[in-house]
Amino acid sequence: MTTTQDWPKLPPVQTGIRGRCPRCGEGRMFDGFLTLKPKCDHCGLDYSFADPADGPAFFVICFGCVPAVAFGIWLEIAFQAPYWVHLITTLPLILLTCIPLLRPLKGWLVASQYFYKAQEGRLVTPDMNAQESQS
């Protein structure tokens, strides 16, 4: 049986963008388009630690949607384009700059959480400091 010390530290970009397990780099992280699997099929890593929340959507909105919508606004102001022009230019541009980026960004954020051991914050009390110094 392999222990956690036997796994190499894989960069989050390398594993996350490809949708691979952040621990072994072999198993697939997703079950469907954006749904995380419960655990890795290859090494058994439990993905319950992962909570990217709205991170992927935030990055997609900032770097995908904003420029695409700016293009639509520019098209309307510069040419007073009819609705059908927006339907065949702006709508596909928005879809092509937003949807394909969601999965790689979610994978990268999940892999980053694993790599950097990110977890929910907790309040450190004097009792906890004393326990840590004794061990």
pLDDT digits (tens, 9 = 90+) for 79-131: 999 999 999 999 999 999 999 999 999 999 999 999 999 887 778 777 766 66
- What 95-98 contacts at long range (C-beta under 8 Å, 24+ apart), as own/partner pairs, is 97/60, 97/64, 97/65, 97/67, 97/68, 98/60, 98/61, 98/64, 98/65, 98/68
User: Which of 44, 28, 105 is closest to 36 using CA atoms?
Assistant: 28
Share of the chain above pLDDT 90, in %: 79
- Domain layout of the chain by residue ranges: 4-117
The whole-number pLDDT of residue 106 equals 96
Res 134 pLDDT > 90: no
Q: Which two tokens stand for residue 18?
A: 């490809």
Segment 4-30 mean pLDDT: 91
User: Which of 60, 72, 58, 54 is closest to 98 using CA atoms?
Assistant: 60
Phi, psi of 36 (to 5 degrees): -75, 145
pTM equals: 0.82
Share of the chain above pLDDT 70, in %: 90
Segment 49-73 mean pLDDT: 93
**119 exposure class (CB count in 10 Å sphere: 0-12, 13-18, 19+):** exposed
What does the mean pLDDT of the chain come to?
Answer: 90
